[in-house]
Amino acid sequence: MPIQSRFATPTPSISLPSWVFNSESNDDRTTFVDAANPKNILSFSEFKQYSKRLALGLRRLGVKPGDRVLVFCENGIFVPCLFMGIIMAGAIYTGATPSSTVLELSYQLQDSGSTVLIASTNLLKTAVETARSTGFSHDHLFHLHGTGASENNKSHQDVRSWTDILAPIHDTESFNWFEPSDPKTTICCLNYSSGTTGRPKGVEVTHFAYVANGEAHLVLHQLQQEAWGEYTGRALCFLPMNHVAAQTTFMANCPKMGMETYIMTGYTVDGMIKHVEDFQITELMTAPPVISSLVANAKPVGNRLASVKNVICGSAPLAPALSQRASQLFKDDRVVIRQGWGMTEMVCMGSMNDPRITGSLASVGEAAPNSTIKLMNGSKEVTRANENGELWFTGPTLMEGYWKNPEATRETIVDQDGTRWLKTGDIAYVDSLEPGAQIYIVDRSKEIFKVKGFQVAPVELEAILATHPDIIDNGVVGVNIKGRDAPRAYVVRRPGSGVTPKDIKTWMDSKVAAYKRLEGGVIFIDAIPRTQSGKILRRVLRDYTTECGTRFTESFTLQYVLEGQGETGSAVAVALYCEEKTLAVEVLHEDLETLAFFADEVLHWDLDVVKIDHRCTRSIVAAVVNLPHSWG
């Protein structure tokens, strides 16, 4: 049964630049500030002027409406000028993550068919190698120095500065940016999906969809003003600006709302806390790794975050326990870390938390303004509250389709009675079937696996693990051990913690049904692999098992099993995993009980500890030495 949003607002049929710069008057209000050097600022009028100069310069460079321009940049105050200038020229903006390798950047460059590439000076080595390997024109490769336009006027590594593209100021006085004849079908952005399950796909975003997303944010902003009273907002941007969450929020919506944005080149927890305090930041757009780092931060925060009013966490599920622990760092009880939900395929915003209402930390809020959702179970609509189904979405922010991939578009967008529905792939339920229904995301349909015929959602187990005081981050995947599927947890421990895999396994056993127990083991790692936006790369976690084959599966399962034999058993398992068979033998020699246990569990010899003699010991030791490489 379709559930409409409680909020409706008209969407003007204009270009994105016209929506942002709706006044031709000079506006000297500060729009962007370099957080590391706050003397570097851009006013609203300068933002518009640089964007127009770039747009006219791109036209003169030969860029035509519909051409793609790839931006490969770290965060900086001039990145929004690149974004808006490309779109003003009638071209299509596409942004690559700053951590991209030559292979990844080459894929996006070639898949998008971009004719111009602009890269941060710090990323120029990767950009130059990409251009060389793909045969990209060196004349259309430019670099951007992040600290200010005055430092951008020199070539670097024989690559021209982006300022070489800029048209003179006086030439832009009569320049009119591109205004599409049909904003509903004219693409302004080609944003690439995160690629958690395969290669990233280009998502075609139209001017109309982008403006509709902005109008929905204006509704949320008005509700925030009602909840807190009128105030002047200041935002801090540390999420990568190529990603839709930061792109839409900081390069379009904040300038439209007149909100100052302080831009960090990269994220550190200490840097974030310092900038919040120094600049009295009121708005934070975050992702789960940021929240985890806040909770794990050993330094007392005190009142340093007291200015913050709104914290939105998106891009990936946030465990309620983690949200609750982090919310305690903000001194005002009204500050609650609210989960957002959205997708690149709907520009960004799919749900919204009404700040006037105290909702569940597990909820991602209600349907975003102007949108409609429904839950599907196969070909049938879910008609009851609190029943799981795949979440479908429709609204003016829906993507045009996947770039050069009609098959993927047909698999994702379904036309029913003239309405285009996006099959999100998220399994969810709602607490009612009325407008304002709270949405609860269970997990991605592709990430749910079965144990003994029962469905297991990794997000559910991750949320429980997040409540453990010694766990600061975790990821769960299904693994196959000796023909049986089982959940496995990869865990990042709190620094200095002495918790063991057995401790966590035992603790978890008491909180879940038998089929959800971590029979696949508990593995300690330094960091959970995530996309730049915070989504867990489960395929990478699975690859740890797939690529290493039996060795990884068996050795770490052994480590977990041998925890039952205390420190000795753990030492044996670690020694074997590190290929130190001699050390493992020495440890086994010193502890007959573990020796017998090892013989039983690993070698499958039915032995009693009292029956182990020197001959038997020698046989076991020989067997250890001759274990196949997969054990060592």
Contact (Cβ atoms closer than 8 angstroms) between residue 1 and residue 382: yes
- Three-state DSSP at 457 gives coil
pTM of the complete model = 0.78
**220-244 per-residue burial string, b: 16 or more CB within 10 A, e: under 16:** bbebbeeebeeeebbbbbbbbbbbb
Residues of the chain with pLDDT under 50: 151-152, 546-568, 570, 574-575, 577-580, 607, 609-610, 612, 627-632
Residues 150-176 as b/e (b if ≥16 CB within 10 A, e otherwise) read eebeeebeebbbbbebbbeeeebeeee
Give the chain's domains with CATH numbers: 44-206 (3.40.50.980), 449-631 (3.30.300.30)
Q: What phi and psi, each to the nearest 5 degrees, are found at residue 575?
A: -60, -45
408: tokens are 């993927």
HEC readout, 400-413 = CEECCCHHHHHHHE
Q: What is the pLDDT of residue 560?
A: 41
pLDDT number for residue 592: 57
Tokens 């518009």 appear where?
48
Is residue 32 a contact partner of residue 41, using CB atoms and an 8 Å limit?
yes
Residues 6+ positions from 514 with CB-CB distance below 8 Å? none
Residue 57 CA to its chain's centroid (Å): 34
- Classify residue 301 as exposed, middle or buried by CB count within 10 Å of its CB (0-12, 13-18, 19+): middle
**Structure tokens, 467:** 């409540």
Tokens of 235: 């935002």
Residues 113-171 pLDDT 10s: 999 999 999 999 999 999 999 999 999 999 998 655 554 456 777 899 999 999 999 99
For residue 402, report the phi and psi dihedrals to the nearest 5 degrees. -90, 135
Overall residue count recorded for the chain in this entry:
632
Residue 160 β-bridge partners: 142
Identity of the amino acid at 333:
D
Query: In 21-106, where do the E strands start and end?
Result: 30-34, 41-43, 68-72, 92-95
Quick one: pLDDT at residue 334? 84
Neighbours of 198 (CB within 10 A): 10
